[in-house]
Amino acid sequence: MEKTLIVLIGNARGGEDTWETMYKNLKEPFKADLALCFGESSVKSSSLYKNAKFVWEIKEYDNWMDYFNLYYNKDWFEPLAAKFYNDSLLGGIPGFRGSGIILLAIRHFLLNNYKHILMEYDRIILTRSDHYYIDKHPILPNDNLYIVEGEDYGGICDRHHIFNREMIDNVLGVCDFFCNIENSNILCENNTSNIEKVLLYYFNSTGLGDKLKRIKRVQFTVADTNDSTRWWSGGGTSLPGHPTLKYKYTSEYEEALCNLSKKQ
């Protein structure tokens, strides 16, 4: 059987009830190993850490520009900052909202530090810890870049990507593209104001656009009362049967329920 590695990125969010759905409906069907690519934390008592084969921690920067300065010249930043000063693309740098630049940094961190481990697996599932699964994830052919439906925001959803090891460089190598001054100017010209737009433009530039396949949603993003986030404002709707959980995005929740009802 093909070896699969689930890589959860960001931080431990969603809580134990949420993670139990991931173990049952994602990890078990794929018989997958689990890796955590999280910000540094002294709290490692959750079941995620107990179930993870790998724990890869990235420094939590107050200014994520400090991370990029370790690897790239600064000339890429100025045109993007001038163009997208009111958007989410550069979130993680003081003065910008959201977390877009952090999500790009995590891909760079994975590729440059753990590619040798990723290459030991046939399939990589790059996803989040705060996805609540209400059905078994489909087992997919290992031949395309699979991206969950919805939440595209003018580009392509960044929250759940499945790809084979031959695609690792292209899927995770977005920062080399993004932090090139020529490409920065092109991104400005094309109004790529969020990470979703950047990823779609980048995937098309690498040829991966021809391998993009959308998959039906069996999960939706939730927040536990103890979660923290740079982006979400604390709203949402209570998840029935789970007093401490809220689903963040109505469209995700409704799509997942609709897909489940069609199977029954």
Q: With beta carbons less than 8 A apart as the criterion, state whether 221 and 248 touch.
A: yes
Residue 154 has a CB neighbour count (10 Å cut-off) of: 11
What pLDDT was estimated at residue 234? Answer: 53
pTM for this model (two decimals):
0.94
Q: Is the pLDDT confidence value at 60 over 80?
A: yes
Distance, CA of 148 to CA of 158 (rounded, Å)? 9
Domain ranges of the chain: 4-263
Distance, CA of 262 to CA of 264 (rounded, Å)? 6
Instruction: For residue 86, give the DSSP letter.
Output: T
69-87 residue pLDDT tens:
999 999 999 999 999 999 9
Q: Is the pLDDT confidence value at 226 over 80?
A: no
Q: What is the mean pLDDT of residues 177-189?
A: 95
Q: With beta carbons less than 8 A apart as the criterion, state whether 208 and 177 touch.
A: no
Query: Can you name the CATH fold of 4-263?
Result: Spore Coat Polysaccharide Biosynthesis Protein SpsA; Chain A (3.90.550)
Distance, CA of 178 to CA of 155 (rounded, Å)? 15
What pLDDT was estimated at residue 230? Answer: 47
Q: What is the mean pLDDT of residues 125-133?
A: 97
What pLDDT was estimated at residue 229? Answer: 55
